[in-house]
Structure 1
Amino acid sequence: MNTQSNVRLNEDNLHHLPSGISVPNYDRKKVKAGIVHVGVGGFHRSHEAYYTDAYMNQTGDLNWGICGVGLRDADRKMKSILEQQNYLYTLIVKHPDGTIENQVIGCMTDFLMGCDEPNSVIQKMADADTKIVSLTITEGGYNFNPATNEFDFDNPDVIHDLANPFAPRLVFGFLTAALKLRMERGLPPFTVQSCDNIQHNGDVARKMLLAYSRKVDFELAKWIEQEVPFPNAMVDRITPVTTPADINYLASEMGVSDEWPVTCEPFHQWIIEDKFSVGRPQWQKVGAQFVADVTPYENMKIRLLNAGHSVLGILGSIHGFETIDESIQDPIFRQFLQLFMDNEVTPILPPVSGIDLDEYKQTLLIRFANPNIKDHLTRICSESASKLATFLIPTINDNLRQEGDIQCAALVLAAWCYYSDKQTDRHGKEITIIDVMSQQLHVAAAKYAVNPASFLEMTSIFGDLNKNQGFMDVYKKHLKAIYTDPNVKKHMQSIINSTALAVS
């Protein structure tokens, strides 16, 4: 790879890139930031930013540029690289047949660091030009207890923010301070738009912000409650972590130096409640769908796609797989996921207008099997404490109420206990676990020998599952089987066989 001859991605070189890379057709100098986005990761850059860039390309409406915001030290690298590239980056879309599309996204205008200059972020959000503040802060960023669904005021960062309202650390402190300024200035509020994989994400953002703001200023909280819209949305596009191979591909195959491109699948979906305070981009012109109630779409996606990812991720990690496509290409893993979706999820899903569930599930299998999207199980399993509380536990509870099937889900939770306890695959190879609750999970799981229910006694994740005798009987059976023999494929096959026998 001859990096000296590569074209560095920046504004000066934008129109000197190779023909195999599409670039924005609008004048970036005229773009005005109408959106402030907190949490500029790969998914935001492949999803909301992608839609916004496409909208600008199609319509020439340049009032919806995106100002990125990072709240953590970990965001410094992203800020630095994007700043050097004039906030340009390449989106590498990888199709299952090997076709690759390369597109430069140009809608980002700036990147602010809240941990360095909190007032700059607050003032940007409070600016009259800002119409939307959007979020991809992960499930954990909403600071709620999964068992109670209430705001966690014991979080040390929350305690700090309440004492330092204009130098906050968490997003709710920034939103509260900015909305207070807008109220005092007589400006209409911005829309708070969650783009996270949380069911009723807008409702959750609203509930958490109101809980926090009531502690700061009760009158402000009343204004927020009455005036600020929080549209729910369902978001979907598989976006694995960028790897050195992605950077090298652009350099060696395209002759472009981009230090942090994004890779993703071709599929993308965004279904949004049409509730905005001071306007929005007409994203429907580029594929987004605006609806009155997003709930059925959320249920479908979270309980099939996101839970399906966790099923493959935890079981696949113990088996020794590294990526989602590797897992789904194994016939037993594929059959097990199909069984989980058909027997445990589909029966408790409400109807989804315009969606054929059987077709949707087959689409998921095809997407998961895309050999060119190397979505690592480490990423899939990251923050499983938050994910499974949202993606899987509600399905188990619904099935328990309806006397539905729980075998597959119970095996996944038993496998998660083993995974958290041993922190190795079945061959003894160490598993990288990324979870803010990893230590608590490990301690609880390690008590298995003296108390098989110990893992499920973490009520902040599992609620009252440990009190349901029917579920505990199934869970303990699977737990004993996995600890006796961590060959998860054998246990998955057993469930597949027993289900087929019951049907016949």
Structure 2
Amino acid sequence: MTHVNRTAMPRLGATTTPAAALLHHRALPPTGIVHLGLGNFHRAHQAVHTAAALAAEEGPWGILGVASHSAAVADALREQDLRYTVLELSPQRSRVVVPAVHTGALVATREPDAVLEALAAPGTRIVTLTVTEHGYTFSPRTGALDTDHPGVRADLRGDGPPRTTLGLIVRGLQRRVRAGAAPITVLSCDNLMGNGHTTARLVAEFVAALPGAERDELTPYLAGVAFPNSMVDRIVPATTDAYRDAVAAQFGVRDSVPVPAEPFSMWVIEDSFAAGRPAWERGGALFTADVGPYELLKLRLLNGTHSLIAYLGALDGRDTIPEAIAQPAIHRAAMSVLREEYLPTVPVPAGVDVEEYIEQLFTRFANSALRHRTRQVGSDGSVKLAQRVPEPALAHLAAGRMPHHLALTVAGYLCCIAAPPGFDPGPDAAAMTDPARERLAPLASRPTPEFVRAALATGLLGEALAAHDAFAARVTDLLTVLLHHDVPTAIQEATAPITSTQLPASRGSQHPESGVSAHRAAT
């Protein structure tokens, strides 16, 4: 991407948007959707599907976008008449489109009352969410609402404006009850298994924890609120100046918040809505009575494999996913974890050609035009891996098989997030953000076997897997190889036994060895 002088160009706005780039040409509809989580994924996924639906069938489905904390995107959108570009990239082609579906952009921490008013407005029919797994404030150990979370505690007490996503939703519903407004739909678009059921349960737990009068006021109303499950799928990296330059070069306008994305986009939704919905099926979405198989297909084959690529890639010094998957050893490990350990645990949905799906996945991973960074994919692993690893791992263990590459995923995660003293995991691993880093890092100074057991005992992957000694030992083996040798050697150890005489010279980590391959023969 060539650098261009963006400052000399007009800003993107209503009068400078190239007409050919607009996904729909209708007048901006009134707000029918309030979206919580004004990040890149929403703007490249739900907003694009909604724009395509509006192009096919009009309706009151404008989107009010709400950022949780950061004002950067919201303020930029306001300066640009709520316009932004989506830059769809692949090695073969690029396309720039403008959804033009947002009716406003707010920041929850800055304008909490305006957000609550929007949630309670009679015209609001749907609340959509892309707040990441971490934004649901549940306990990683139990999956229940984390009532020890300071934001949750404050929101339950009603101390000031809501600080959490659940607090916003519940207080918004409370205003609807008091205003006599009809029930609405809350549609999670995050990577949670059974995301609709999970959201419904957490909202109900929040309401149940409120003082008696508020609880009694809200509980009957919740019966009319819909929480459909959904599966979302599109690779959307972070915005950089390279993408800003690309839009400027193609359009001759300055967009400070363009969104890069792959051409592929998929949205599978349970058709259960309380107050109507856009014609999303005409915008590329698939409606089904059972989203579960699609969720598993994506959460395990795509997301689970993606996590392994990210951790191994970061430890191997690879800044991006395409650079990581281009390494033969990492490609082999990704294919192994997908085919041998994730795929046998997934009921493939009818009509899905799984071989075509897998081939498409690896083409998407290798999309070199899309610089999807390993640090972005690897962040928040403590929440992500809890959704992806335990069930398939336990299924294999129950059948007498050791899931070596799932163990390698956990080892890679620990090596990135809580490397022991004296070991440098590299800048991409160090840049990964994770809510568990603070509690895991102090444990890393222990000998590797003790560290792994202590890390699993924190509830990182649930109690059942933490109690499985053979799995903990296998994670220990592979973590030891990562600490003392390198990524290709660890992948080789996960694939085939390595004897002590076959191991290359140690990299000099101060951690003690722990008997590599001691548990492979027994499994």
- Common fold: TM-score over 0.5: yes
**In structure 2, C-alpha distance between the alignment counterparts of 1:238 and 1:445, rounded to whole Å:** 32
Q: CA 1:189–1:470 in 2, change beyond 3 Å: closer, same or farther?
A: same
The residue number in structure 2 matching 1:420 is 417
Whether 1:404 and 2:404 are equivalent positions in the alignment is no
Whether 1:55 and 2:44 are equivalent positions in the alignment is no
- The code of the aligned residue for 1:182 comes to R
Is contact 2:59-2:278 (8 Å) kept? no
Q: 2:192 aligns with which of 173, 198, 216?
A: 198
- The code of the aligned residue for 2:88 comes to V
- The code of the aligned residue for 1:123 comes to E
Is contact 2:415-2:483 (8 Å) kept? yes
Q: 2:134 aligns with which of 140, 146, 151?
A: 140
What 5-or-longer segments of structure 1 have no aligned partner?
none
The residue number in structure 2 matching 1:474 is 474
Q: Secondary structure at the match of 1:148?
A: coil
Report the more deviating stretch, 62-71 or 417-426.
417-426
Q: Percent identity?
A: 31
- The code of the aligned residue for 1:444 comes to L
The residue number in structure 1 matching 2:84 is 89
Q: CA 1:407–1:33 in 2, change beyond 3 Å: closer, same or farther?
A: same
TM-score (norm 2): 0.89
Q: 2:35 aligns with which of 26, 34, 37?
A: 37
Q: Spell out the pairing of 1:213-362 with structure 2 (5 A cutoff).
A: 213-216=207-210, 217-362=214-359
Is contact 2:478-2:493 (8 Å) kept? no
Q: Spell out the pairing of 1:64-143 with structure 2 (5 A cutoff).
A: 64-72=61-69, 75-97=70-92, 99-143=93-137
Q: Secondary structure at the match of 2:227?
A: coil
Q: 1:6 aligns with which of 6, 9, 14?
A: 9
Q: Secondary structure at the match of 1:8?
A: coil
Q: Spell out the pairing of 1:16-27 with structure 2 (5 A cutoff).
A: 17=18, 22-27=21-26
Cα deviation, 1:46-91, whole Å, max 9, x if unaligned, reads 10000011111222x141010011231xx21111100000110000
Is contact 2:271-2:288 (8 Å) kept? yes
**In structure 2, C-alpha distance between the alignment counterparts of 1:339 and 1:430, rounded to whole Å:** 23
Cα deviation, 1:123-151, whole Å, max 9, x if unaligned, reads 11111100000100110111111221110
**In structure 1, C-alpha distance between the alignment counterparts of 2:427 and 2:192, rounded to whole Å:** 34
Is contact 1:410-1:478 (8 Å) kept? yes
- The code of the aligned residue for 1:155 comes to H
Cα deviation, 1:371-413, whole Å, max 9, x if unaligned, reads 1011001101111111111122222122222333411111221
- The code of the aligned residue for 1:55 comes to A
Q: Secondary structure at the match of 2:209?
A: helix
Is contact 1:81-1:259 (8 Å) kept? yes
Instruction: Give the alignment's Cα RMSD to 1 decimal.
Output: 2.2
Is contact 1:51-1:283 (8 Å) kept? yes
Q: CA 1:201–1:194 in 2, change beyond 3 Å: closer, same or farther?
A: same
Q: Secondary structure at the match of 1:89?
A: coil
Q: CA deviation at 1:347?
A: 1.2
Q: Secondary structure at the match of 1:83?
A: helix
Is contact 1:213-1:220 (8 Å) kept? no
Is contact 1:9-1:256 (8 Å) kept? yes
Report the more deviating stretch, 63-72 or 233-242.
63-72
Q: CA 1:100–1:308 in 2, change beyond 3 Å: closer, same or farther?
A: same
**In structure 2, C-alpha distance between the alignment counterparts of 1:63 and 1:430, rounded to whole Å:** 44
Whether 1:438 and 2:405 are equivalent positions in the alignment is no
Q: 2:171 aligns with which of 166, 177, 182?
A: 177
Q: Secondary structure at the match of 2:477?
A: helix
Cα deviation, 1:435-457, whole Å, max 9, x if unaligned, reads 12212121223323472422222
Is contact 2:125-2:184 (8 Å) kept? yes
The residue number in structure 1 matching 2:374 is 377
Q: CA 1:8–1:198 in 2, change beyond 3 Å: closer, same or farther?
A: same
Q: CA deviation at 1:420?
A: 2.4
Is contact 1:447-1:454 (8 Å) kept? no
**In structure 1, C-alpha distance between the alignment counterparts of 2:77 and 2:326, rounded to whole Å:** 36
Q: CA 1:393–1:11 in 2, change beyond 3 Å: closer, same or farther?
A: same
